[in-house]
Each structure stands twice: as structure tokens, then as C-alpha cells.
């Protein structure tokens, strides 16, 4: 069901892009914006591991430096049928974790120092299994695709704001073009965030399978959510969606939930244990 929802959301993102392209500059303008966005995101995709590790100030660790952590990652990745990822630790008090990398052969699993101090062994296994699930599901590739589409829509919207859309003589409405330029990036962002939330649910489910139990991850999520509200993390919003729980702000319901890159912890725990 999660994959079906992601497919529908991707179709919606494509529809928004086509609509903006028609409103702004026709087919040629849409292709140009897509090309520029794709070039930027390909560069970020290939250098994602280095950029994300720097953003979190994380350091790669060896088996000698973190033997228990390294052994746990190695054991769980074998259970998941994955190659051994690079293991890193970030010097943050907030308990959290993330995975990055362009494919399973070039992946990174990172945990914070606060996480290793807070959770027990079963909970840490659940957290790591969740991140390995992201790698197994190739979520980084999907994030690059959605970022490319959302970036192209924003580029087209900026073009419309500065140079105007198609005129009435071209079969378009100037007011409609302006409205499209203002609303399309918001719509694209909402769809992008919705896809991210669906991938978190999927990673929770696959992570529980890798760990062999769901309660470890469920208990860890409760702790991570509680402490993320008490302990701030200084990290760029651009890399915040990669973390296992939102490192920047507590989850809020209502309209604000539309702009969240993470599902609510209560929903995640309920699905895991339900």
C-alpha cells in the first residue's frame, strides 16, 4: 500500500510540473528547467555522503574505535542482505540517526553520541535496522527524483515571477500564471514531504523485519521523539529529513503536519505494534 501511495504522489508531482510548464513557457521552458534541476541534483546525489556527514559534523569510525556498534551494523546488514556500509558517529547530544549514500554499495549509517548513551541494545538494533531499511529500499534514489521534480517546479515558478507567464494571445492567463507560480512550489513541497513520510513508514516496517522484532524500534522512537523536543540540534534544514526523527522541531498536528517530513511518532508506533 505504501508503494501505491508513493506512485500516486509521484504522479501528482509530475502533473504539477506539466501544469507549470504549460503555464509558463510551454514545452521548451519546462525541459530547460528540468535539465537545470536534474544537473544540480545529480551533483548532490553523487556527493551526498560527504555533504551530509559534514552537515552533521559526523566522523567515520573503524571497528577498533567502535567495536560494539560496528559489530551490530555488520550483523544486521548481513541479515538484510546488504553490503557493509560505512559507519559514522555524530557529536550531538540529541539521540538520532540517519542513512545516506547513492546506493547500497556506497552507503553510510550514522548515529549520534546521544543515541548510544540513551537507548538499550534492543532499541539501538531497531534504530540501525530502520536506517538499513532505507538503504535496502533505495530511498536515497527516490529522494533525488522527488527533489529534481520539486526543484524544476520551483525554477519554472521563479521564471514566471520574473518574466511572466504565457499571455492571453498564447492561450494563457497572466493572472493564472502568477497564481501557478505562487502555488505550484507549495504543492510540490507538500507532495515531496508526503512521499518522505510514506518512506518512513515503509522503513519502519522493513526495519522491524531486519531486527526480528518491532518493540525495540517502537520503544526507541518514543525516546527519540521525547528527547528531540528537549535537546536542540544545530543542523541544516536541508538534511533534517534524513534523520530518524525530526531533529529541528517537535511534530505538530493540524495544518502544520502537512509541512512535516516525518510522520507523527504515535502513528509510527501504532503501525509497528498494531
Angle value at C-alpha 196, between 85 and 37, nearest 5 degrees: 90
With CA atoms as reference, report the closest residue to 41 among 119, 148, 121, 128. 148
pLDDT at 34: 67
pLDDT, tens only, 87-107: 999 999 999 999 988 889 999
The set of residues, in sequence order, having a beta carbon less than 8 Å from that of 12 and lying 6+ positions away, is: 191
Whether the CB-CB separation of 89 and 128 falls below 8 Å is answered with: no
Q: Where are the domains of the chain?
A: 2-273
With CA atoms as reference, report the closest residue to 38 among 188, 183, 138, 150. 150
With CA atoms as reference, report the closest residue to 109 among 149, 155, 148, 74. 74
209 part of the active site: no
User: What percentage of the chain carries pLDDT values higher than 90?
Assistant: 43
Highest mean pLDDT among 152-161, 163-172, 206-215: 206-215
Cα separations in angstroms, 84 against 87, 103, 108:
9, 12, 9
Any idea what DSSP says for residue 66?
A: S
Q: Which of 131, 169, 200, 209 is catalytic?
A: 131
pTM of the model: 0.76
218 vs 21, residue with greater confidence: 218
pLDDT at 43: 72
pLDDT, tens only, 221-239: 999 999 998 998 988 776 7
Quickly count: other Cβ atoms within 10 Å of residue 167's Cβ.
Answer: 11
pLDDT at 10: 60
Name the one residue in this structure whose C-alpha cell is 553520541: 113
The answer to which of 2-11, 179-188, 238-247 has the lowest mean pLDDT is 2-11
226 vs 14, residue with greater confidence: 226
pLDDT at 198: 78
Give the pLDDT mean for 195-222.
92
Amino acid at each position: 500500500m505504501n508503494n501505491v501511495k508513493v506512485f500516486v504522489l509521484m504522479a501528482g508531482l509530475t502533473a504539477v510540473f506539466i501544469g507549470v510548464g504549460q503555464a509558463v513557457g510551454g514545452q521548451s521552458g519546462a525541459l530547460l528547467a528540468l535539465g537545470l534541476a536534474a544537473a544540480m541534483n545529480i551533483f548532490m546525489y553523487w556527493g551526498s555522503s560527504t555533504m551530509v556527514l559534514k552537515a552533521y559534523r559526523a566522523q567515520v569510525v573503524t571497528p577498533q574505535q567502535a567495536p560494539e556498534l560496528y559489530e551490530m551494523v555488520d550483523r544486521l546488514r548481513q541479515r538484510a542482505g546488504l553490503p557493509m556500509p560505512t559507519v559514522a558517529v555524530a557529536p550531538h547530544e540529541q539521540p538520532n540517526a540517519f542513512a545516506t549514500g547513492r546506493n547500497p554499495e556506497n552507503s553510510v549509517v550514522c548515529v549520534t553520541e546521544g543515541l548510544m548513551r540513551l537507548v538499550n541494545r534492543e532499541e539501538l538494533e531497531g534504530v540501525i535496522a530502520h536506517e538499513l531499511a532505507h538503504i535496502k529500499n533505495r530511498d536515497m534514489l527516490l529522494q533525488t527524483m522527488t527533489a529534481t521534480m520539486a526543484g524544476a517546479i520551483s525554477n519554472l515558478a521563479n521564471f514566471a515571477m520574473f518574466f511572466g507567464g504565457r499571455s492571453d494571445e498564447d492561450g494563457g492567463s497572466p493572472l493564472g500564471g502568477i497564481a501557478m507560480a505562487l502555488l505550484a512550489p507549495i504543492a510540490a513541497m507538500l507532495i515531496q514531504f508526503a512521499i518522505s513520510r510514506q518512506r518512513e513508514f515503509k522503513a519502519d516496517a522493513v526495519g522491524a523485519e531486519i531486527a526480528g522484532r518491532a518493540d525495540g524500534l517502537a520503544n526507541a522512537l518514543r525516546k527519540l521523539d521525547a528527547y528531540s523536543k528537549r535537546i536542540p540540534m544545530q543542523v541544516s534544514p536541508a538534511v533534517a529529513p534524513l534523520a530518524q526523527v525530526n531533529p529541528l522541531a517537535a511534530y505538530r498536528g493540524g495544518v502544520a503536519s502537512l509541512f512535516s517530513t516525518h510522520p507523527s511518532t504515535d502513528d509510527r508506533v501504532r503501525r509497528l505494534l498494531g
